[in-house]
Each structure stands twice: as C-alpha cells, then as structure tokens.
C-alpha cells in the first residue's frame, strides 16, 4: 500500500486528507493588466511587448531589460498591488521589525538600519519615513496581498523555482540602499511615484552571493533611467544597482520580484551527485574501498588521490550518460515544500477536501494541480542503508501555508505520498496523459490500480472525469 511521504526537519507526519477542484475568483480592484490563463501567458504579459523567446535568448542571465510603457491601465493596475497607504492596516495585523519590515537609509554610501525593537507601530513608522527620510522595506508582501500571491504563484509554476518579493517605499530626495548586487534574478514593477536607477556592469556575473560595492569601485553606470508607474525592469543576478527617489516629488513605491536563488547547474550537480555516488558504490567495489592511510592528514592533495578521484568522476559520467532517472536529493523537495499553495480565494482547507466521484477500476481519471506536484525517486527511509529499496515519492504544495512563504520557517512540512518503484510506469502514465482509464494503468493487479488512484484522489491530485 502507498504511504504518506515523511516530512524533513522538524515537520510532523500528517494524515492523508481527502479535494475539490481549484476555483479561480478574481480579486477586487482594477482590471488586471496581466493574463493568468497559464504560467506562460502570465510571464509573457508581464514582459509585454517583448516575446518570451526573445527575452530568454537576449536578456535572461545576460543583460537588463527596461520597459517604459506610459500605459495608464498598466499603471493603475500596478498601483493596486501595494500602496504606502496599505501599511496602516498591515501594521494593525501584527508586523515586527526585522521579520516583516526593515527601516533603513543610505548615508555616505553605507546602509544605516533604523529599526526599533519588537512590534511595528504605524505612527512611528510614518514618523521615520517623513522625518528621517527612511526607506520602508516590506518583506514578502504576497503573504498578505492577494494579487501578488496570484502573480508569484504563477511565476513559481513557470520557473520551477521559488519566487519571493519585497516592497520598497522611499520618500522624495532619499535613497534606501547603497550600490550592491544580489544572488537572484530581479523583476521590478514601479507602483507609485518615480525611482531613479543606476545599473553597473557586474564584477561577479551570475553571483552566488550578495555584496555591497563602493562608489569608486562600480565606475560609470552602464544604464541610467527613471521608472514611472507601470514601468518594468529586469536584471540578472550580479548586476550592481542603486536607486533613489528624485527630490521634490512624491514618494516612490516599487516591488522587487526575485527568483533563481541557488538554482544553477552547479547547485543541481551538487544535488544529484550524492545519489549517483550512492547507487554506484552499491555495485562498484572500487567505490567501497578505503582511502589510503593518513590521507585526511595531508596538507596538499596527493597525486594518487587526484588520479583516483578523476577516475571515479569519469565512471560517474559514463553511468550518468546511460540513466534516465536523475535522483534529486533535496532541490525538488525543498522547492515544493516551500513554495506558495495554489491561488485560491476561498477557505484554503477546501483545496484538500475531496470532491467528485470516488475513482474505481472502470473510471477515467486525470491529474490536477500538475504544476504544484513533483515526483522523485529516493531510498526507503524506513529501511537501513544496506537494505534500502528505492521508492517513488510524490510531493505537492496544496497544503502549504501562504503566511510563511519565503520566511525561512523551520517548521515547514512535506505533504504527499510514496509508492513502490514498481508503480513508476503507472504514475508516468497519469502524469503524461490528459486523461487515462484506471484499468489501463501498468500495474500487475486490479487491486494495485484501484489503490493507486484512490490514494492520489484522497490527496486531491486526481479527479474522475
């Protein structure tokens, strides 16, 4: 019988909860300037009039893209995403310095943090904004603003990577942060007022970390411009940037939407190599042989060790060429555990409440929430290392909590199922077809077929059609 997937870290195992179809309800406010029909449609409407193919060929990870639209409809929609005036009601919900809000200002090329202790009080926040000309940085507003949740959930489906956001509100004639670069791909939407930007060529292209750069090191801006409401800016990780609100004008509000942190080929290699080594060592005696005595005490790498490791890497490369299953140790699971749940304006618990007919052997079923589900192969965690058999793990984000998205919560749980490896072909049939008859699943017995679809239905991953 299939089993619940075990959580990692401090999560607790949760019983299987039977699901209704997702219903998409529009939020109040101005008409959307974006197309939410699919993740691809959403992204293309975000970068309009640039085509997706053009964006990834000419700009992605290569150079900034600036779109100054001068479109009142887009400007009105962007302004509805987050306003300075929203802070009063948000503060009344219990915001805290550091966790939810940072208050800062760039002084003489350095960031000066002006946070108080504990809970944020709106009157004090507004006082620092008005009198100290401080920038208000609001962390992960998609936790509270429905339309940002809607946008970022679709972008996570599109990129297959976590998508976070921060809102920056800066008074006229002020700057919040010194020149710096980040380790994420950045999409900026100008919401209120105007923001003057300077972008510089990266000192570390596609940087894996964040760093402040001094004015004398960054040189002359490669691009300098002013964003107005409805304008869009993209730049790759590692791009050095700084921004200020021009004097004599109203405050500026923009949202920075970011993705692709620790999502490089190097990260993927680190993630998959451990499983490859583990499987190879089961079959190859040389991988299980002990290292030379005192190797760990050597100051420099020995020629013997270097030669041996080079040979092992060649063996792994040959093995990799012949495999169809890449064993992701952590990246897949971390993504699905920490991403946003599907956008849903009703009670979130309804997403994991079963609906429709119970699947039976004569039923036709189809997968739902495919963009919120991953499956991967891994060792059975209930067995010892020597006897571990591989299992197929299905993880989904239907029960994830929007309120903790991108907040570094240690209590994150995994939700899903696990099946014997013999169920892999049947699962691929369900994942690969728009609809499939239960009796056509590639399993030995009718009981196995019924148990498989019943487990998926109970977890709200399939429906009877």
How high is the pLDDT of residue 21? Answer: 41
pTM of the model: 0.90
C-beta of residue 152 within 8 angstroms of C-beta of residue 406: no
pLDDT tens-digit profile of 228-268? 999 999 999 999 999 999 998 799 999 999 999 999 999 99
Angle at 342 between CA 338 and CA 347, to 5 degrees: 110
Q: How confident is the model at residue 386 (pLDDT cuts 50, 70, 90)?
A: low
Question: 401-423 in b/e burial notation, b at 16+ Cβ within 10 A?
Answer: bbeebbeeeeebbbbbbbbbeeb
pLDDT tens-digit profile of 440-456? 999 999 999 999 999 99
C-beta of residue 188 within 8 angstroms of C-beta of residue 256: yes
Could you give the 3-state DSSP secondary structure of residue 138? strand
Least confident stretch, 101-105, 127-131, 184-188, 343-347: 343-347
CATH number, span 329-405+412-464: 3.90.930.40
- Rounded mean pLDDT of 168-189? 97
Nearest to 399 by CA among 369, 429, 421: 369
CATH architecture of 265-322: Orthogonal Bundle (1.10)
How high is the pLDDT of residue 28? Answer: 63
Per the prediction, the chain carries an average pLDDT of 90
Q: What is the spatial distance between Cα 407 and Cα 392, in angstroms, rounded to a whole number?
A: 29
Q: What is the spatial distance between Cα 196 and Cα 151, in angstroms, rounded to a whole number?
A: 25
pLDDT tens-digit profile of 37-95? 999 999 999 999 999 999 999 999 999 999 999 999 999 999 999 999 999 999 999 99
Q: At residue 204, does pLDDT exceed 60?
A: yes
Q: At residue 4, does pLDDT exceed 50?
A: no
Q: What is the DSSP letter of 50?
A: S
How high is the pLDDT of residue 375? Answer: 86
Q: At residue 25, does pLDDT exceed 70?
A: no
Q: At residue 314, does pLDDT exceed 90?
A: yes
How high is the pLDDT of residue 100? Answer: 98
Pairing outcome for strands 373-379 and 211-212:
unpaired
pLDDT tens-digit profile of 108-167? 999 999 999 999 999 999 999 999 999 999 999 999 999 999 999 999 999 999 999 999
Q: Give the side-chain half-sphere CA count within 13 A for 350.
A: 10
Q: How confident is the model at residue 438 (pLDDT cuts 50, 70, 90)?
A: very high
C-beta of residue 231 within 8 angstroms of C-beta of residue 193: no
Q: At residue 212, does pLDDT exceed 80?
A: yes
Q: At residue 22, does pLDDT exceed 60?
A: no
Q: At residue 16, does pLDDT exceed 60?
A: no
Sequence ranges of the domains in the chain = 39-259, 265-322, 329-405+412-464
CATH number, span 39-259: 2.60.120.650
Nearest to 345 by CA among 24, 32, 34: 24
Q: At residue 10, does pLDDT exceed 70?
A: no
Q: At residue 1, does pLDDT exceed 60?
A: no
How high is the pLDDT of residue 313? Answer: 95
Q: At residue 215, does pLDDT exceed 90?
A: no
């Amino acid at each position: 019988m299939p089993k619940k997937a075990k959580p990692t870290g401090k999560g607790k195992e949760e019983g299987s909860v039977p699901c209704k179809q997702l219903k998409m309800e529009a939020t109040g406010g101005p008409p959307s300037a974006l197309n939410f029909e699919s993740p691809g449609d959403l992204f293309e409407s975000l970068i309009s009039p640039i085509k997706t193919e053009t964006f990834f060929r000419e700009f992605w990870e290569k150079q900034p893209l600036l779109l100054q639209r001068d479109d009142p409809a887009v400007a009105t929609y962007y302004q509805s995403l987050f306003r300075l005036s929203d802070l009063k009601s948000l503060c009344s919900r219990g915001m805290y310095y550091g966790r939810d809000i940072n208050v800062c200002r760039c002084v003489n090329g350095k960031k000066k943090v002006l946070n108080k202790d504990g809970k944020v009080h709106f009157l004090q926040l507004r006082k620092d904004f008005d009198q100290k000309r401080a920038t208000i940085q609001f962390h992960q507003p998609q936790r509270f603003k429905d339309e940002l949740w809607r946008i970022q959930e679709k972008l996570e489906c599109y990129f297959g990577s976590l998508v976070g956001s921060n809102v920056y509100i800066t008074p006229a004639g002020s700057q919040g942060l010194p020149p710096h670069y980040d380790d994420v791909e950045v999409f900026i939407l100008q919401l209120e007022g105007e923001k003057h930007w300077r972008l510089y060529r990266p000192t570390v292209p596609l940087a894996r970390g964040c760093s402040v750069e001094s004015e004398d090191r960054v040189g002359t801006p490669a691009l300098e411009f002013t964003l107005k409401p409805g304008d869009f800016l993209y730049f790759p990780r590692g791009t050095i940037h700084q921004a200020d609100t021009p004097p004599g004008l109203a405050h500026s509000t923009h949202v920075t939407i970011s993705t692709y942190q620790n999502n490089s080929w190097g990260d993927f290699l680190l993630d998959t190599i451990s499983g490859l080594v583990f499987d190879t060592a089961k079959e190859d005696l040389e991988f299980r042989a002990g290292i030379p005595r005192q190797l760990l005490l050597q100051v420099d790498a020995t020629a013997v060790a270097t030669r041996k490791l080079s040979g092992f890497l060649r063996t792994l490369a040959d093995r990799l060429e012949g495999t169809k299953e890449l064993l992701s140790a952590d990246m897949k699971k971390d993504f699905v555990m920490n991403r946003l749940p599907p956008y849903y304006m009703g009670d979130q618990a309804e997403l994991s409440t079963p609906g429709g007919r119970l699947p039976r052997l004569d039923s036709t079923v189809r997968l739902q929430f495919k963009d919120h589900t991953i499956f991967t192969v891994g060792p059975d965690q209930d067995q010892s290392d020597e006897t571990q058999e591989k299992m197929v793990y299905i993880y989904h984000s239907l029960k994830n909590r929007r309120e903790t998205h991108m907040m570094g919560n240690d209590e994150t749980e995994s939700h899903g199922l696990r099946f014997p490896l013999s169920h892999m072909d049947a699962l691929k049939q369900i994942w690969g077809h728009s609809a499939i008859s239960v009796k056509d699943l590639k399993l030995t017995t009718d009981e196995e077929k019924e148990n498989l679809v019943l487990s998926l239905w109970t977890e709200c991953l399939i429906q009877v059609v």
